[in-house]
């Protein structure tokens, strides 16, 4: 089976939710940028894998092609909550791995509303939100963080430090929604949304898109594209194994641990070999959990890890140097490809002020609610 | 005036006797689910799930103090996940405590109480019976 390479990739600068153009135009922008990044044309693409959540039933991939070139190629539209973009990327990876195609395009795109996600509650009768607890995302991830606090004594301040770090990182990323420093007092003193998550500890709803051109080794060589290419060393997708509190508490840990284990096996490396990580900091509480879930530190050590600065730029394993979902922004369907863009940019040595020095191996991670996890490990080639 | 309806299908209101929460327990692996089902999603066994009455006592597993919600929903309130004694985990509002992290302890013993669903009614004007947790 051929190795698969990212040969072209880009993302638009994320923008305030609701201010972007129509979803197909938004997706088309990133698609063209990714094609330009490797000098290929839409006519060179053999298939399109498109990730979008908000209009999952409305043929977004085909509408993107209606903007940039209707070549008749197969289009697969993917929806997998916040793992949507990564799932589309992985479908492209699989098709090349299987030898079906040599060059494919993956696009992730989302137009967002503003305000709280989640909650609402289905079923008949009366609304359950605020009656049977809360199913809003800030509350769900607050409770997930509180599980860590319960086990290990993790503090509100430690959770808040994640946000300070990621906002700081985003000051060096011109494509992030925000480039604003947020000192600890400001993060902790911001409006409380769902304790322990304040407003500055919640990801930003944005409009955004990102796209990648994936290529087989043979074709990348033939096209002379290996120089800036990045090898996909591992691509893993998991769902949620049964856990006793599943019915009331989405579990972001178990599916991540399962995916991480498989990803390290597939990549033939361990957490100690990873030079940077873009992980799913949908809320500040979540990032702490994933340090342990991804094996970046031992169980119970994540609080100390954020205190030590090990996950800040310049630390042992910088996490979310893009600014993360907390400050770069979180356009649900685009996020999984945007974090591949970030890691690829570092592996190419093109990340400017936020460059992680000598980066050779990077990891991306996304969670779809508590029931999907996608991890990719990417390796510098040249 | 008609009797209140249960807020969820796993809250049972018997003709006589007190309301209770009902789980469905797998006869093969012992896992407990909320709501009726035919297949156990832990072990895959079919047709061996039987209703079981859940305890009205348990311990607070984790919580969040919700300070922002959707329009019309009163805040702050405490969203709580409770492990019931003897099995089953449920989510609901923790009442009878200040919404202050200093006043709430992980593992604190709570009881399930049954009350009107904060005055919420459906389109037909029906009232609902809900469940809440309070410290014991």
Contacts of B123 in chain A (CB under 8 A): none
Q: In the prediction, which pLDDT does B121 show?
A: 95
Under the banding of pLDDT at 50, 70 and 90, the label for residue A382 is confident
Contacts of B25 in chain A (CB under 8 A): none
Q: Can you tell me whether residue A68 is helix, strand or coil?
A: helix
Q: In the prediction, which pLDDT does A37 show?
A: 98
Total residue count of chain A as it appears in this document: 382
Task: Decide if B66 touches A, using CB distance below 8 A.
Answer: yes
Percent of chain A with pLDDT over 90: 95
Under the banding of pLDDT at 50, 70 and 90, the label for residue A2 is confident
Tens of pLDDT, residue by residue over A145-169, are 999 999 999 999 999 999 999 999 9
> Does residue A242 form part of some domain?
yes
Tens of pLDDT, residue by residue over A272-325, are 999 999 999 999 999 999 999 999 999 999 999 999 999 999 999 999 999 999
- Kindly report the average pLDDT of chain B as a whole number: 96
Q: Is the preceding peptide bond at B76 cis, omega within 30 degrees of 0?
A: yes
CA distance A150 to chain B (A): 6
Show the beta-strand stretches assigned E in B56-108.
57-66, 77-84, 89-94
Contacts of B70 in chain A (CB under 8 A): 116, 119-120, 129-130, 136
CA A80 to chain centre: 12
Range of the domain at B94: 5-135
Percent of chain A with pLDDT over 70: 99
Q: In the prediction, which pLDDT does A1 show?
A: 79
Q: What is the mean pLDDT of residues A204-225?
A: 97
Residue of A nearest to B131 (CA): A132
- Residues of A with a catalytic annotation lie at 82, 330
Contacts of A152 in chain B (CB under 8 A): none
Range of the domain at A253: 4-114+204-380
pLDDT over 80 at A376, yes or no: yes
CA distance A153 to chain B (A): 11
Under the banding of pLDDT at 50, 70 and 90, the label for residue A115 is confident
**Nearby residues of A12 by Cβ (< 8 Å), 6 or more positions away:** A26, A29, A30, A33, A175, A208, A209, A210
Residue of B nearest to A246 (CA): B89
**Interchain proximity A247–B106, CB inside 8 Å:** no
> Does residue A376 form part of some domain?
yes
Task: Decide if A244 touches B, using CB distance below 8 A.
Answer: yes
Q: In the prediction, which pLDDT does A90 show?
A: 98
Q: What is the distance in angstroms between the CA of the first residue and the CA of the last residue of chain A?
A: 21
Q: Which of B30, B62, B78 to mutate to test the interface with A (most CBs of A within 10 A)?
A: B62
- Kindly report the average pLDDT of chain A as a whole number: 96
User: Residue A355: which CATH number?
Assistant: 3.40.47.10
Beta bridge partners of B23: B34, B52
pLDDT over 90 at A332, yes or no: yes
Into how many domains does chain B fold? 1
| Position with higher pLDDT, A71 vs A124 | A71
Under the banding of pLDDT at 50, 70 and 90, the label for residue A122 is low
Listing DSSP states for A2-19 in one string gives --EEEEEEEEPPPEETT-
pLDDT-flagged residues of chain B (< 50): none
The model carries a pTM of 0.96
Under the banding of pLDDT at 50, 70 and 90, the label for residue A142 is very high
Under the banding of pLDDT at 50, 70 and 90, the label for residue A136 is very high
Under the banding of pLDDT at 50, 70 and 90, the label for residue A121 is low
Number of inter-chain CB pairs under 8 A, A vs B: 130
Q: CB burial class (10 A; 0-12, 13-18, 19+) of residue A152?
A: middle
* ipTM given for this complex: 0.94
Task: Decide if B68 touches A, using CB distance below 8 A.
Answer: yes
Task: Decide if B89 touches A, using CB distance below 8 A.
Answer: yes
pLDDT over 90 at A130, yes or no: yes
β-strands A103-110, A197-198: how paired? unpaired
Q: What is the mean pLDDT of residues A171-179?
A: 98
């Amino acid at each position: 089976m051929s190795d698969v390479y990212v040969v072209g990739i880009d993302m638009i600068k994320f923008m305030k939710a609701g201010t972007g153009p129509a979803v197909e135009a938004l997706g088309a922008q990133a698609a063209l940028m990714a094609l330009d990044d490797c000098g290929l044309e839409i006519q060179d693409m053999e298939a399109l894998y498109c990730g979008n959540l908000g209009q999952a039933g409305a043929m977004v991939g085909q509408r993107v092609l209606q903007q940039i070139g209707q070549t008749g190629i197969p289009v697969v539209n993917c929806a997998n909550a916040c793992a949507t973009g990564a799932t589309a990327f992985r479908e492209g990876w699989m098709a090349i791995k299987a030898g079906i195609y040599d060059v494919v395009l993956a696009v992730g795109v989302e137009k967002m509303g503003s305000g709280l996600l989640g909650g609402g509650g289905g079923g008949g009768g009366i609304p359950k939100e605020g009656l049977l607890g809360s199913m809003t995302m800030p509350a769900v991830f607050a409770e997930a963080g509180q599980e860590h606090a319960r086990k290990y004594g993790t503090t509100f301040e430690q959770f808040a430090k994640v946000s300070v770090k990621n906002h700081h990182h985003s000051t060096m990323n011109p494509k992030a929604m925000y480039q604003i420093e947020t000192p600890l007092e400001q993060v902790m003193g911001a409006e409380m949304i769902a304790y322990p998550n304040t407003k500055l500890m919640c990801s930003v709803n944005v409009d955004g898109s990102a796209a990648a051109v994936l290529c087989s080794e043979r074709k990348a060589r033939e096209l002379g594209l290996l120089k800036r290419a990045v090898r996909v060393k591992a691509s893993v997708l998991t769902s949620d194994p049964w856990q006793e509190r599943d019915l009331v508490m989405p579990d972001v840990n178990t599916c991540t641990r399962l995916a991480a284990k498989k990803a390290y096996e597939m990549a033939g490396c361990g957490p100690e070999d990873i030079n940077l990580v873009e992980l799913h900091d949908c809320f500040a509480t979540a990032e702490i959990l994933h340090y342990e879930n991804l094996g970046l530190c031992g169980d119970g050590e994540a609080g100390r890890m954020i205190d030590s600065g090990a996950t800040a730029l310049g630390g042992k394993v910088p996490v979310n140097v893009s600014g993360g979902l907390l400050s770069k922004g979180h356009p649900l369907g685009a996020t999984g490809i945007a974090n591949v863009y970030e890691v690829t940019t570092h592996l190419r040595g093109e990340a400017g002020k936020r460059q992680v020095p000598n980066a050779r191996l990077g990891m991306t991670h996304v969670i779809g609610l508590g029931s999907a996890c996608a991890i990719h490990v990417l390796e510098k080639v040249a | 005036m008609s009797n209140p309806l249960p807020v969820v299908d796993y809250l049972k209101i018997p003709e006589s006797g007190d309301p209770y929460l009902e789980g469905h327990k797998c006869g093969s692996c012992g896992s407990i689910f909320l709501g009726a089902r035919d297949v156990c999603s832990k072990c895959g066994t079919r047709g061996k799930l039987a209703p079981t009455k859940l305890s009205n006592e348990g311990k607070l597993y984790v919580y969040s103090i919700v300070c922002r919600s959707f329009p019309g929903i009163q805040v702050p309130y405490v969203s709580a996940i409770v492990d019931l004694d003897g099995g089953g985990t449920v989510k609901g509002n923790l009442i009878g405590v200040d919404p202050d992290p200093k006043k709430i302890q992980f593992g604190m013993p709570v009881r399930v109480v049954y009350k009107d669903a904060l005055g919420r009614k459906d389109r037909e004007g029906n009232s609902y019976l809900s469940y809440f947790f309070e410290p014991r």
